[in-house]
Amino acid sequence: MGVFAHTADIHLGFQKYEGLQLIEQRAFESMLDRCIEKKVDFILVAGDLFHTNIPEMRVQKYAFAAFRRVREAGIPVYAVYGSHDASPVHNSVIDLLEAAGYITKVSKGEEVGGAGAEAAAEAGGAEAAAEAGGAEAAAEAGGAGAEAGAGKIRLSFTTDPATGIKIAGIPGLKAGRDEAYYRMLDREALAAEPGLKIFMFHGGFSEIKTGRGHEGEFMPISMLPAGFDYYAGGHMHRHLQENHEGVPVVYPGTPFAGYHGDLEENAGGVSRGFVMVEFDGGKVLRITRDTDGPPVEYLTVRVDAQDRTAESVASELAEKVRKADPSDKVVLVRVGGELTVGRTADVDLNGAVDSLDSRGAKAVSLNRSSLTSKEYRITASQYTGTRREVERAVFSENVGEVRAARDELRGEKGIALAVGMLDILRQEQPDGENKEDYVTRVLADAAAAMLAAAGGGNGTEAAAGGGNGTEAAAGGGNGTEAAAGGGNGTEAAEE
């Protein structure tokens, strides 16, 4: 008899607060340590090991160190891309781990009976299609081969050398593309393969829901290929287990938290962990959950601001924070609703966080995304003109909402800096420039603009190597995501 571990949706690098980063790291390392202690035969990682395909160096270092221990213990790790850590050109940290011999990606295959590879290449997946021509290539091209009436994708099996178990899988796909790609699978070949077989995937099915997904991301569970003995899923952050034609379809859930909502669920008593699967004689015998991760105590401070004044909300928040005992707890501060009078900036959220931190909170997570004010409501119909004119109008209207300690972030200076930062962060990556150089250049430009606005130099120093400019350009954490992703960059510019 043997046993393997199945985990998914770890989302290393998601947490932005130092205290939560440490918990995230401990939960991950503890999970792998327990796999080593229990001498599992192998570990399955069904997508979203990382929150982005290239997380900050801090995350890469401890992930490599942890998987090194796993390899030294003689335990193979098999993985597929998730929807967060995938890369169409195979430059994810997942690929670095594979190159180092720490993991094996199992999403491999080839196109048969059609010109799908050519169609995929013409649809924009040329490099991936040329490199692999198989499972990941077709998936990363967005199912273009299927839409073009191409042939089938024949997945290859990876055989675990110690147990003889055969594993096939597909990577996480973009919403709406899953079903097109699944229809391309050569199901007959998969079903005909003898032996105990595992199918790894990262996606959702309409019959297995947690109530936290989008309907458009789901497909019928009948899309799963038949003939397997275990379906190792990822994407759902709660533990779920169903049977499909008598075979277990399992989502282990996140070991800690990959979204802000996961922290809320943790505080509400939802257990986290991974699963252990016992097998013998070509059959899966028993599936058990391991929820023995590091204990975390939570405290929630919640204030409903709907139809209230900023003054009353601020008063209630301050009182609840004063009465709270945050010592050695993860504190979730949640303030939401629409104020009738006052600005959102009149609610001293940062003061609440500082107070909790100073009294021994292990970590404080602040969520004010749904806090708005009727006095400062922004709608697109309010503004007309060019994009630049609309942007300046929005910043001019709302610059007073930001509590800024520095003069260069207020008034006309703040507006000019925000508009300039938007121009920098929306730069497109030109042909011939790799992602690393592109991110470094954009961050250097942003650092130079901020330094120039502060009157601390000519900007060249920031880009070339001094102080904060160097740290930003070198690729530290959120800055990289901002430049690469656009979304956070806009928020940073506005603030």
Burial 408-446 (b: 16+ CB within 10 A, else e): bbbeebbbebbbbbbebbeeeeeeeeebeebbbbbbbbb
> Residue 69 burial (CB < 10 Å; 0-12/13-18/19+)?
middle
What gap in Å lies between CA 394 and CA 132, rounded to an integer?
47
- Encoded tokens for 55: 């997380």
Task: Identify the three-state secondary structure at position 230.
Answer: strand
- Residue 236 to residues 10, 405, 446: CA-CA distances in angstroms? 11, 41, 36
Q: How far apart are the C-alpha atoms of 407 and 414, rounded to whole Å?
A: 8
Q: Which one is catalytic: 84, 90, 235, 239?
A: 84
- Tell me, yes or no, if 84 is annotated catalytic: yes
Tell me the C-alpha distance between 373 and 397, whole Å: 13
How far is Cα 490 from Cα 419, in angstroms, rounded to an integer? 10
- Residue at 333: amino acid letter: V
Identify the H or E element spanning 464: helix 460-464
**3-class secondary-structure state, position 334:** strand
Please, is 455 exposed, middle or buried when counting C-beta atoms within 10 Å of its C-beta (0-12, 13-18, 19+)?
exposed
Place of tokens 């995938």: 86
Which pair of structure tokens corresponds to residue 264?
Answer: 């809320």
Structure tokens belonging to residue 244? 């499909």
- Which residues are the active-site residues? 84
